[in-house]
Chain A
Amino acid sequence: MNEDRPIAPEWNRVYGEIVYWITFVACLICFIGPMFSMLFPENNAMNPYFTYALVFEGMTGSDIWIALYGEWPWFHYVWWNNFFTGDGFTMFGVALGTTVALWALIPTMFVFARHKLPQYVLFSAIVCFMVVLAASGIIRIG
């Protein structure tokens, strides 16, 4: 142990900052989205009054979507086609937040490459690949 205060490595700062700010934006969306949902209940993929009623009746997610939206298509179609509605915009915020590791690891890979750490470029690429597989729905469970 010594007394000099070290600066965090560049990959720490790049990864941390990107994750932090995208998560912050996702959070703001999750405040604003429900507000518009409740202000304009008809301008939603699913009317929030009925959504909450069905959620608390114990219905499954896909059944709720089918009952109120008419179908349960591919996840990303839903927020894309309903981007300017309260819950569609909220869904976009959640999707943005839950893919944040991908958006942060891509630039972090370049930092690792610049610092000649090829093993971490590879590890980062593997994690990115897994996020892409999962978020595109290629990997499914059940």
Chain B
Amino acid sequence: MSKWLKPPWLELNIMLALAVITYLVILAAVMAMPTPEGGMAGGVIWGWLVGFFVISTLIALVATIGGIGGGVLFTPFILAFTPIDSLIARGTGLIVAMFSGLMATGPVCRSGLANVKMCIFLCVAFGVACFGGALGAVVVAEHLGEFGEAAVRMLLGLVIGGLILYFIFGGKRIEWPDVKVSDKITQYLQLRQPFYEPSLKKVVDYGLTRMGWLFCGILFVGMGSGFFGMGAGWAIVPFQNVIAGTPLKVAAANSVVLLGMGDCVAVWPYFMMGALIPILAAPWLAGQVVGGLLGALVLVQIKAGFVRWLLIGLMGFSCWGLITRALSMWNVIERPPHWMNGLVLLILLTFVMINIVREYRLKD
């Protein structure tokens, strides 16, 4: 039997076929039916449905490979280019952040790349901290106002900036850290889990350490995630790598599993406030699932260096957004226009592409 008819390609093909059929049926329906007075034109709705699905698929592909939630890319895009209410955007953003991770969970768990025990342990911290952070956002808004919010954004931006430098100059040591001795908490948690690494054609039996500190770090990240109402993969990956010595590919895989698990808690307060509009969320969810599966299949195969450079680019864009937002909230600068944000993203993507190409040209 052809590999295209076997899992996971079979599921991918079913979803793509269903996407084509359902969107064609919707197109036929909207062309045949008149638009009710006061409603949006059927053709425009169809355009949004298909456009959302395609953009969502692309976001999920990039996000899964980088081990981040797509919310970091989705929420600014929606808030910048559409008049959609911010609560609906944030609720749908969490769907975007979690569903690529949920679909990627299958392949990365099956291959042994993700460490489910580690994810469950860290999810305890992440879930509690997300709620703490969201409550903290209310407190900060009430007591410290815009100055306090800007200070937290600046702090986060500087932390990410430091991590970017560490990722650039850390090189191979970052991709495959060599942990010789585990501490007592890590030993108690029995987290050792060797896996086969296709890009190296070897079994990797990695060591871990400082899980207690990582737990505290994830508390901090979860607080930030809940506070700002955005995904946290951009911080979960480097924290696992820097604190616990988790190999970068394992950290990216753990991150997608953890985001899928943790956002099952974080998304519900938004839904309970009425922020889920099913017909709006559906194409974003479907696109995340299709792109997430495709991204997971790529992630299992690619070199760790690719993940590292992609993360540097995505973290760089987050860093730019956080620092400029903080400075504009303090009235030091004007908020950068969309064209400038786009230009920064383009420069960072070019930088990433150049380094990935250079990485692939180097013979191991």
Contacts and interface: CB of A to CB of B under 8 A. Distances in A.
Contacts of A2: 202-203, 205
B22 A50 contact: no
A3 B202 contact: yes
A90 B278 contact: yes
Size range of the interface on B?
35 or more
A110 interface: no
B282 A94 contact: yes
Contacts, number: 289
A20 B105 contact: yes
Residue among A6, A21, A45 having the largest count of chain B Cβ atoms under 10 Å? A6
B68 interface: no
B40 interface: yes
Interface stretch (B82-90, B235-243, B316-324, B338-346): B82-90
A43 interface: no
A107 interface: no
A46 B193 CA distance: 49
Contacts of A108: 116, 120
Contacts of A105: 120, 261
B41 to A, nearest CB: 8
Size range of the interface on A?
35 or more
B260 A19 contact: yes
Interface in A42-62: 45-53, 55-62
B26 interface: yes
A22 B117 CA distance: 20
Interface stretch (B157-165, B262-270, B307-315, B348-356): B262-270
B242 to A, nearest CB: 22
Given A61-B273, A64-B277, A101 B25 contact: no
Contact of A62 (B83, B107, B266, B274): B274
Contacts of A87: 278-279
A38 B28 CA distance: 10
A123 B25 contact: no
Given A38-B26, A98-B264, A127-B120, A52 B280 contact: yes
Contacts of A80: none
Given A5-B196, A61-B277, A134 B268 contact: yes
Interface stretch (B95-103, B145-153, B166-174): B95-103
Interface in B235-292: 260-261, 263-269, 271-283, 285-286, 289-290
The list of the 5 closest CB pairs from A to B, nearest first, reads A16-B109, A20-B106, A49-B39, A62-B274, A8-B112
Given A31-B15, A50-B38, 16 more contacts: A4-B203, A6-B112, A6-B194, A12-B110, A19-B105, A34-B26, A47-B39, A51-B277, A61-B88, A75-B272, A90-B278, A94-B281, A98-B98, A101-B265, A131-B265, A139-B131
